[in-house]
A = this chain, B = another copy of it.
Amino acid sequence: EEPKPDLVSGAGDTVLKFNVGGTSFRLRISSIFARSGEEKLSTFAQMSHEQRILQCDAYLMPQEEYYFERSSILFDSIFKYYVSGQLHRPLDVCPQEFSCELSYWKINDCVMSNCCWRGYNMSASLEELVAPKEKKIELHDRSLRSRIHQFCEGDGSLFSTLFTFGSISFVLISVIGLVLGSIHELQVPIRKTGGKAERILDNITLLNGTDVIWEPHPVFSYVETTCIIWFTVEFIVRLTVTPSRVQFLTGIMNIVDMIAIIPFYLEVGLALFGIDVASLSDIKGALLVVRVLRVLRVVRILKLGRYSSGMRTFALTLKSSARQLGMMGMVLSTGVVFFSTLLYFVEKDEKDTPFTSIPAAFWWAIVTMTTVGYGDYVPVTVPGKLIASGAIISGVLVLALPITIIVDNFMKVSGNIDTQE
Contacts and interface: CB of A to CB of B under 8 A. Distances in A.
Between A57, A117, A184, the greatest number of chain B beta carbons within 10 A of the residue's beta carbon is seen for A57
A105 to B, nearest CB: 13
A156 interface: no
A69 interface: yes
A115 B95 contact: yes
A178 B76 CA distance: 60
Interface in A324-370: 324, 326-328, 330-331, 334, 337-338, 341-342, 344-346, 348, 356-359, 363, 366-368, 370
A90 B88 contact: no
Given A73-B73, A346-B295, A93 B88 contact: yes
A118 interface: yes
B397 A59 contact: no
A94 B115 contact: yes
Contact of A22 (B10, B26, B100, B183): B26
A144 interface: no
Interface string A70-108: 111110100110011010111111111100100000000
28 contacts: A7-B58, A7-B60, A7-B61, A7-B67, A8-B53, A9-B56, A19-B26, A21-B79, A21-B83, A26-B58, A28-B69, A74-B80, A94-B116, A179-B337, A182-B348, A298-B341, A304-B334, A308-B331, A311-B330, A313-B327, A314-B331, A324-B414, A370-B371, A375-B375, A376-B378, A400-B403, A405-B410, A405-B414
